[in-house]
Structure 1
Amino acid sequence: MGGPNLEVFKFGMYIMFPIATMYYYGTNLDKRFSVPDFWPKPEQTNRIPFEKEEIHSELERLKQRRLYLREKRLQNEKNEGQDS
């Protein structure tokens, strides 16, 4: 038989191996497992307007875009009708 020293060594390995593994993989996570430029920068994301003027200007912008796309669609339909 191994004796008490072997049992103490085995117990130490059983305890220290998971702790050492967690310490190794748990430190410097930002450098080790990060993908550069994975998340968009704040200026690249959508910004929700909260102020009344910002909401009105955003609604006006959406309305102008919708009207522009409608005019473009009607013009395409008119052109297709003339070609037939």
Structure 2
Amino acid sequence: MGGPNLEIFKFSLYLFVPILALVHFGDPAWYRDNVLPYKEKLFPKETLDRKLPANQEEVKAELARIKARLREKAEERRREQNKD
């Protein structure tokens, strides 16, 4: 068996790894530099600024707008593929 020195080493490892992870990932500068840019990539500003539709007509209009945008993107992708 390892003896008391191994147990002390394991205990210190179990204690300090979570503390060091907290200190590193809990740093506001790390959050600002690594998390916020990724958040902006996942949730662009244009999607966050719109107001949500309140009635059925607004929902239908928003759905038509989304479908039209998706059709435009698909058509653009087809043009790009045919071009290459």
TM range, smaller chain: 0.3 to 0.5
The TM-score normalised by the length of structure 1 is 0.39
Larger radius of gyration: 1
